[in-house]
Amino acid sequence: MMGRTIFIDPGRCIGCQACVSACRECDSHRGKSMIHLDYPDEGHSVASLPTVCMHCEDPVAPCAEVCPADAILVTADGVVQQADTTRCIGCANCVNACPFGVPKIDLQAKLQMKCNLCYDRTAYGLAPMCATVCPTGALFYGTLEELQAERPGVQVADSFTFGDVVVSTGVAMVVPADKVQWPVPGGLPIVEVNGKDVAR
């Protein structure tokens, strides 16, 4: 479990993609961005939100759990690292397992890549590059107390439901104060994990 984490606040996102550019510039991902910018209501609204790795805690990192090559390390502080280049076989199991659609596969390199919470920066006491530059604070790095000091009354959630499956995460999401649900709906229900129908 991390002391500080990323908080995602879709209500503040302006869709500028500074996070995408920043991720491309950080030293561990130089040249490739590990952030998606999603448009949740594309038909009718200009709403957008960044998706970073949620660093799942319970169940611990489905991407790591399903990795046949044991290439994805989860550190003691809860950071789910990107695949170890010496182990990854590029099978994309992790891509299929991730309920948030985060890991990416470089098919040519046969290598998985994903957000590692800028471990190279947090180790030096810096915030991850995306949360550092985010012009609006749609990505915030710090503690909940620090977030609430800046944004009085803000409410967050760190558990998401996919059908009957609840996934608790190390990264948290700001939710509208008047529409708090627990856990937060996380998207389409997961019906099958490792051949087992989990929806029943």
Partner 1 sequence: MSSRSLPLDPSIAPPGTRNFRDAGGIPADQWHADQNGETLVPTHCCFCGVQCGMYLRVNRAGKVFGVEPRDHDINRMRLCPKGINAYQQVNHPDRLTAPLMRRSRDEPFREASWEEALDFTVAEIRRIQGAHGNDAFGLLGGASLFSEKTYLVGKFGRVALKTRHVDYNGRLCMVSAAGANKLAFGIDRAGNPFSDILLTDCLLIAGSNVGECFPVMTQYLWGARDRGATLIVVDPRETAVARTADIHVALKPGTDAAFFNAVLNVVISEGLTDEQFLAEHTTGWDEVRSTVASYTPERAADICGIPASQVVQVARTFAGARRAMAWHARGIEHHSQGVENCLTVINLCAATGNLGKPGAGYGTITGQGNGQGGREHGQKADLLPGGRSITDPEHRRQICEIWGIEESELPSAGTSMMEMVWQMQRQEIRGLIGICNNPFVSLPNYATVKAGYDCLEFHAQFDFFLSETAANAHVVFPVTTWAEDEGVMANAEARVVKHNKAQEPPGGVRTDTWVMCQLAQRLGVGDKFVFPGSREVFEELRIASAGTVNDYYGITYERLEESGGISWPCPSTDHPGTPRLFEDGQTFHPDRKVHMQVVEWHPPMDPYDEEHPMSLTTGRTVAHFLSGNQTRRLGALVEQTPRPWVEIHPSHGFRNGAPVRVVTRRGSGVFPALVTEAIRPDTVFIPYHWPVPTAANALTIDALDPRSKIPEYKVCACRIEAAERIDEVPAPPTGPGRQAYPAAQVSRTDPLPPTSPQGRGTAERS
Q: Which amino acid is at 71?
A: A
- Binding partner 1 (rule: CB under 8 A), the pick from 59, 90, 142, 163 is 142
Give yes or no for a contact between 112 and 95, defined as CB atoms under 8 angstroms apart: yes
Q: Does 12 bind partner 1 (CB under 8 A)?
A: yes
Among 86, 107, 152, 179, binds partner 1 (CB under 8 A): 152
Query: Is residue 98 within 8 Å of residue 74, measured between CB atoms?
Result: no
Are 140 and 110 spatial neighbours (Cβ–Cβ below 8 Å)? no
Considering only the stretches 37-45, 84-92, 93-101, 102-110, report the one whose residues sit in contact with partner 1 under the rule CB under 8 A.
37-45
Secondary structure element (H or E) that encloses residue 119, with its range: helix 119-122
Q: Which stretch binds partner 1 (CB under 8 A): 89-97, 107-115, 116-124, 186-194?
A: 116-124
Q: Which is nearer to partner 1, 125 or 195 (CB)?
A: 125
Is 84 exposed, middle or buried (CB count within 10 Å of its CB: 0-12, 13-18, 19+)?
A: middle
Distances (CA, A) of 185 to 64, 70, 132: 23, 30, 27
Per-residue binding string, partner 1, 70-99, x by CB under 8 A, is ------xxxx--------------------
Which CB, 59 or 90, lies closer to partner 1?
Answer: 59
Q: Cα(188)–Cα(185) distance, rounded to whole angstroms? A: 9
Number of residues that bind partner 1 (CB under 8 A): 64
Locate the DSSP E strands across 11-150.
36-38, 49-51, 56-58, 104-106, 111-113, 139-142
Contact between 168 and partner 1 per CB under 8 A = yes
Q: Of 75 and 194, which CB lies nearer to partner 1 in the complex structure?
A: 75
Structure tokens at 107: 């098919």
Q: Using CB under 8 A, which of the segments 64-72, 102-110, 121-129, 189-197 binds partner 1?
A: 121-129
Binding site for partner 1 (CB under 8 A): 1-5, 11-18, 20-22, 24-25, 37, 39, 41-48, 76-79, 119, 122-127, 129, 132-137, 142-146, 150-152, 155-159, 168, 170, 172, 180, 182
